[in-house]
Amino acid sequence: MSLQVDAARLTHELQVLATFSAAPAPAVTRVVFTEPDRAARAYVRSLCTAAGLSLREDAVGNLFARWAGEDPSLPAVCTGSHIDAIPNAGMYDGTVGVLGALEAIRALQATGLRPRRSIELLMFTSEEPTRFGIGCLGSRLLSGLTDAGAASRLRDRDGATLDDARQAAGFTGTVADVALPPGQYTAFVELHIEQGPLLEQRGIGLGLVTAIAAPASLRVTIDGEGGHAGAVLMPARRDAFLAGAEIALAVEAAARSTDAIDTVATTGVCHVFPGAVNSVPSRCELEVDVRDIDEGRRDAVLARVETACVDVAARRRVSVTTQVVNADPPARCDAAVVDALTASCVDAGFACEPMISRAYHDALFMSRVAPTGMLFIPCRAGVSHRPDEYAAPEDIARGVHVLALALARLAS
Amino acid sequence: MSLQVDAARLTHELQVLATFSAAPAPAVTRVVFTEPDRAARAYVRSLCTAAGLSLREDAVGNLFARWAGEDPSLPAVCTGSHIDAIPNAGMYDGTVGVLGALEAIRALQATGLRPRRSIELLMFTSEEPTRFGIGCLGSRLLSGLTDAGAASRLRDRDGATLDDARQAAGFTGTVADVALPPGQYTAFVELHIEQGPLLEQRGIGLGLVTAIAAPASLRVTIDGEGGHAGAVLMPARRDAFLAGAEIALAVEAAARSTDAIDTVATTGVCHVFPGAVNSVPSRCELEVDVRDIDEGRRDAVLARVETACVDVAARRRVSVTTQVVNADPPARCDAAVVDALTASCVDAGFACEPMISRAYHDALFMSRVAPTGMLFIPCRAGVSHRPDEYAAPEDIARGVHVLALALARLAS
């Protein structure tokens, strides 16, 4: 197959997509259902329509753009990723797997191929947990792992429910209908930047993911006692922020205690109330993220954090409550999908190597309902979730080329 | 003198004043030059005008309400406090010294007294540091301790300058003219809730302040390196929030290290960037408050905090910068003013005792330009800077009674 990936067109489209942002360039902030997210969705829809794909959106805004195959009754081959972005992020996380998949479909169309199975681009809602506190909301609901009842209880920091937010963005269907029927897809493949440094360090252009690390997140709420910073003497204090500081350090210590390089834990959010220089903090809210490729080891870290919370609560005479927002098992990629990706690399003459995904992705949840694989491309210095996140056009084009070959192979 | 304090009227006025708030009752949030602050100022002006006082406002919004004496050419007796309130505060801090002083003046007027010296109610701008990061802004400028040049460099978190903010609130004069001329006042007395538990614990209705603790505040900015919470491995991290957590705990340890009950230190503000659960914090901003009645001991705590910052920066490979926002000496109250307050307590038949003010007040700065005293009344459980801050009407009335007698004595 003589496949031509238009790297210049794809680079241009990624740059246009990056302009839909609540933060000034080069930063990208695109939180689900906010105005930049809605505008970016409209842009992607317009590109898909121009490519002749037929569009469908579900009740939470997952977008399905289908290139019908010769036999549309067969389970389709699916590919996709997300376009939402955490505050102050970059322009490649997720977007490469959406616009790159579209470019792969266009490149296949240009060869004159008519695939036997349909090929469907899936753009997932809210891969990032920024707004509702839980990552991969769209793919969780598609997989059935999160049900409509749980989704209906989600609220953002301002108290808006998921239903409020999705309906305001124009998605008015029934959330219970989002879950995919069994056997919908014969395969799912996600193209993504590595978000780590290994491919760049080894000079390898493509990574074939064999497993995705198991993520978990906790919300920790500490209630102490406020008061005047001059008048409340040190022995009488029940300072919620100092308790939070100790818990954040305990999270770090718990991750390091496993002595496994694959264990990571982060306290990325800390809100202090009332938040005045001359007022003893009465309340502190933390959000904690723990990941490991080994689920048991990950759960042991969570247990250590819980123990630390109990210890800090007793010692500092504060109340500490923890809520597990999610604690998901790791995923193994499907051997047949990995084989199709490997064969496509061989066909194209590109070097590749197997690897672990430390970040988690919609593929983690799609693996519950479809044979799944992931294809990684390098990103500069492994940097992600930052404005200086960067993937070279030639690396993106190489990933798109292999994705296209694999989609054709899986759809044949 | 047969003095009648109208406790019911004063309670009503305090309650009305509390309604000017950005937070729902019982919380009071009234940040300088915001709409609630401007509305509250208008209310106080209307009450002063109704009492026949002549009004003047300076370039930063300090309000002077004068009851002219028989000899207006003599230095006046001054009394007052502030009405601004930190986020989620209560309704008595400061306000008791403004509306209580007005009630004292009205009670004196009702006796038919015509004082020899004028008596002036002074309502200070921005005693709280919430908006511009520095406490007692109005009284600092009146005392000359902070000059117009330093004031012109102040900015709030949104980047607005003091000049922008005061002019938007209608205060358009020249800041250099705010400093009081020498000998303006023969005495300054501030009535205030204790903001500590001692009077209540000892069953004493009135405290006569002999000294005010020395306050200092620091801003600490930590720059580390952000990244994806799944992909950046623990040994490679330069997490700004964990550095901030260690510094906050070092602040507490530094205060406790003096073994003096009078040393207190607080980290009341912590902002974490970018503030997403799945992003390693790249930046953390802390605001730290340190106080002691012993200035040398206070400075030793500041030095320990600075040392901890250097240590944390090296160990965690982050950049830590500290900025001393203020570091003021303690104040001794004036013996003659304290004597006048003591004699007034004796005249009225009220028990009182000398005490230290651990919180700082506009009186700290007024003591640089006038013989100064402070009169404390109990507040429930020592609670302040919280919505449940409470002072009983009879305790407030007792303070107003003694304040009125002392003003009359000092103005004679």
| pLDDT tens figures, A224-278 | 999 889 888 999 999 999 999 999 999 999 999 999 998 999 999 999 999 999 8
Domain CATH code at residue A349: 3.40.630.10
Chain mean pLDDT for chain B: 96
- So what's the ipTM on this one? 0.80
pLDDT at position A88 is: 93
Beta-carbon pairs below 8 A across chains A and B: 233
Residue A385 among known ligand-binding residues: yes
pLDDT at A83 over 90: yes
pLDDT at position A387 is: 94
pLDDT at B391 over 90: yes
The amino acid occupying position A341 is L
Residue A93 among known ligand-binding residues: yes
Chain mean pLDDT for chain A: 96
- Look at A278 and B358 and tell me if their CB atoms are within 8 Å: no
pLDDT at A316 over 80: yes
Interface with A, mutate which of B239, B279, B305 (most A CBs under 10 A): B279
pLDDT tens per residue across span B110-154: 999 999 999 999 999 999 999 998 899 999 999 999 999 999 999
pLDDT at position B197 is: 87
A283-292/A214-223 β-pairing: antiparallel
Co-location of A246 and A179 in the same domain: no
A404 lies in some domain: yes
B1 lies in some domain: no
pLDDT band at A214 (very low <50, low <70, confident <90, very high): confident
Q: What residues have CB less than 8 Å from A90, skipping those under 6 apart?
A: A26, A27, A28, A383, A384, A385, A386, A387, A388, A389, A390
- Look at A263 and B194 and tell me if their CB atoms are within 8 Å: no
Give the residues across from A192 on adjacent strands: A376
Q: What is the mean pLDDT of residues A36-62?
A: 98
Domain end (from B297, B327, B357): B327
pLDDT at B1 over 80: no
Q: Considering only alpha carbons, which residue of chain B is nearest residue A133?
A: B277
Per the structure, the count of domains in chain A is: 2
pLDDT at A119 over 90: yes
Co-location of B348 and B307 in the same domain: no
Q: How far apart are CA B341 and CA B400, in angstroms?
A: 12
pLDDT at B196 over 90: no
- Look at B276 and A266 and tell me if their CB atoms are within 8 Å: no
- CA of B285, closest CA in chain A: separation in Å? 11
Co-location of B375 and B307 in the same domain: no
B121 lies in some domain: yes
Q: Which of B86, B249, B277 sits opposite A287 (nearest CB)?
A: B277
8 Å CB contact between A13 and A75: no
Domain CATH code at residue A254: 3.30.70.360
Co-location of A241 and A387 in the same domain: no
Q: Which of B246, B291, B386 sits opposite A230 (nearest CB)?
A: B291
A406 lies in some domain: yes
Give the residues across from B285 on adjacent strands: B221, B271
B2 lies in some domain: no
Q: Which of B242, B277, B291 sits opposite A129 (nearest CB)?
A: B277
A102: containing domain? 7-213+330-411
A59 lies in some domain: yes
Residue A361 among known ligand-binding residues: no
pLDDT band at A81 (very low <50, low <70, confident <90, very high): very high
φ, ψ of residue A39 to 5 degrees: the values are: -70, -40
- Look at A277 and B291 and tell me if their CB atoms are within 8 Å: no
Q: What is the mean pLDDT of residues A383-411?
A: 96
Q: What is the mean pLDDT of residues A393-411?
A: 98
Q: What residues have CB less than 8 Å from A5, skipping those under 6 apart?
A: A103, A104, A107, A397, A400, A401, A404
Short-list B348, B336, B328, CA closest to B104: B348
Q: Which of A265, A270, A383 sits opposite B270 (nearest CB)?
A: A270
pLDDT at position A196 is: 87
Match 């004595």 to its residue by tokens.
B409
Q: Which chain B residues are Cβ-neighbours of A230 within 8 angstroms?
A: 195, 213, 215, 264, 289, 291, 358-360
Q: How far apart are CA B150 and CA A108, in angstroms?
A: 66
Q: Considering only alpha carbons, which residue of chain A is nearest residue B257?
A: A234
pLDDT band at A359 (very low <50, low <70, confident <90, very high): confident
Co-location of A180 and A307 in the same domain: no
Instruction: Report the sign of the C-alpha dihedral through residues B405, B119, B390, A278, in that order.
Output: negative
- CA of A112, closest CA in chain B: separation in Å? 40
Short-list A231, A404, A218, A238, CA closest to A326: A218
- CA of B246, closest CA in chain A: separation in Å? 7
Interface with A, mutate which of B201, B266, B298, B380 (most A CBs under 10 A): B266
Q: How far apart are CA B302 and CA B298, in angstroms?
A: 7
- Look at A227 and B385 and tell me if their CB atoms are within 8 Å: yes
**Alpha-carbon B296 to chain mean position:** 22
- Look at A267 and B232 and tell me if their CB atoms are within 8 Å: no
- Show the tokens assigned to A294: 């080994």
pLDDT band at A86 (very low <50, low <70, confident <90, very high): very high
HSE-CB of A403 using CA atoms within 13 angstroms: 38
8 Å CB contact between B220 and B309: yes
Residue B128 among known ligand-binding residues: yes
pLDDT tens per residue across span B305-337: 999 999 999 999 999 999 999 898 899 999 999
Q: Which of A86, A252, A384 sits opposite B242 (nearest CB)?
A: A252
Q: Which chain A residues are Cβ-neighbours of B246 within 8 angstroms?
A: 245, 249
Q: Which chain B residues are Cβ-neighbours of A385 within 8 angstroms?
A: 226-229, 274, 276, 278-280
Q: Which chain A residues are Cβ-neighbours of B386 within 8 angstroms?
A: 226-227, 282
Co-location of B299 and B343 in the same domain: no
- CA of A118, closest CA in chain B: separation in Å? 34
Co-location of B182 and B56 in the same domain: yes
Q: Which of A267, A282, A386 sits opposite B241 (nearest CB)?
A: A267
- Look at A231 and B196 and tell me if their CB atoms are within 8 Å: yes
8 Å CB contact between A339 and A208: no
pLDDT at A220 over 90: yes
Co-location of B268 and B306 in the same domain: yes
pLDDT band at B81 (very low <50, low <70, confident <90, very high): very high
Helix (H) or strand (E) holding A373: strand A372-377
Instruction: Report the sign of the C-alpha dihedral through residues A297, A302, A303, A307, in that order.
Output: positive
B207 lies in some domain: yes
Domain end (from A272, A292, A327): A327
pLDDT at A1 over 80: no
pLDDT tens per residue across span B5-58: 999 999 999 999 999 999 999 999 999 999 999 999 999 999 999 999 999 999
Co-location of B320 and B187 in the same domain: no
Co-location of A233 and A311 in the same domain: yes
- Look at A228 and B385 and tell me if their CB atoms are within 8 Å: yes
- CA of A176, closest CA in chain B: separation in Å? 27
pLDDT at position B182 is: 86
- Look at B269 and A277 and tell me if their CB atoms are within 8 Å: yes
pLDDT band at A133 (very low <50, low <70, confident <90, very high): confident
Question: Percentage of residues in chain B with pLDDT exceeding 70?
Answer: 100
pLDDT tens per residue across span B366-384: 999 999 999 999 999 989 9
Short-list A310, A312, A262, A264, CA closest to A289: A264
Q: Which chain B residues are Cβ-neighbours of A217 within 8 angstroms?
A: 277-278
8 Å CB contact between A315 and A369: no
Other beta carbons within 10 angstroms of residue B164's beta carbon come to 14
pLDDT at position B357 is: 92
A54 lies in some domain: yes
Pick from A349-353, B200-204, B261-265, B357-361: least confident: B357-361
8 Å CB contact between B384 and A231: yes
Q: Which of B255, B277, B287 sits opposite A217 (nearest CB)?
A: B277
Domain end (from A281, A296, A327): A327
pLDDT at position A21 is: 97
Q: Which of A228, A265, A289 sits opposite B359 (nearest CB)?
A: A228
Co-location of B323 and B335 in the same domain: no
Co-location of A84 and A16 in the same domain: yes
**Alpha-carbon A140 to chain mean position:** 11
Q: Which chain B residues are Cβ-neighbours of A87 within 8 angstroms?
A: 274-276, 279
B185-193/B372-377 β-pairing: parallel
